[in-house]
Amino acid sequence: MSEPILPSDLDALYQARDLRALAFDWVPVGIVVTEARVIRECNRRFCEMFGYTRDELLDQLFAFLYPTEAEFQNVLHRGDKDLGEGNLYWDERVMRRHDGDLFWCRVRGQTFTPEDPLGRAVWSFADLSETRPYQPLTQREREVFSLLGEGKTSKEIARELSLSYRTVEVHRARLLKKFGVSNTAALFQSLGDIDGDHVVRSAP
């Protein structure tokens, strides 16, 4: 697929039964194909979500869509185990639009190369802005928040981020205070149902 599909092309494509092309470009979530985390193809919704043209996105390393280079590096290999075992992977993370706005995304991925999980993969991006408005958080708070959203305990988060258990608990307490809730369940409940369309990470 070399060019995005324009509205004027829709009827002709439908009549020609080129439904794969239609589905890719008009599915209501962002779709991107990567090779070693370089964007090789993306659909209309992905471009709209991030505020770039397709030409501006193609052949770019994914890092520039993250709030910081450090956050890109932090999530870089988070899904390797699941993807390497042939499973789907999902998480929720903060991304950055072209205008600098930060927003929460639900990301799902499937690799084409389990022996090299990030070698070639396809990803979907769902914008959570309507149900989860972005709150000003530090980079570390965003990381802890994202891992809490995956159901990880403070001890598991501490291991993954190479922090002490106490440090994670401090960040967790700050998150609860910022969102005005008393526990982690209430934190996510206050932001809307985040479980309804999650893919179980161990699903085949």
pLDDT recorded at residue 31: 97
Please report the pLDDT score of residue 1 as a whole number. Answer: 44
Tell me the domain boundaries of the chain: 16-189
Query: What single letter denotes the amino acid at residue 102?
Result: L
C-alpha dist (Å) from residue 186 to 58, 100, 126, 170 = 40, 29, 22, 17
| Topology (CATH level 3) of domain 16-189 | Beta-Lactamase (3.30.450)
Read off the pTM: 0.69
Low-confidence ranges of the chain (pLDDT < 70): 1-18, 188-204
The residue among 84, 72, 86 whose CA lies nearest residue 143 is 72
Give pLDDT, residue 12: 63
What confidence score (pLDDT) does residue 204 get? 28
Look at residue 96 in the predicted model and tell me its pLDDT. 95
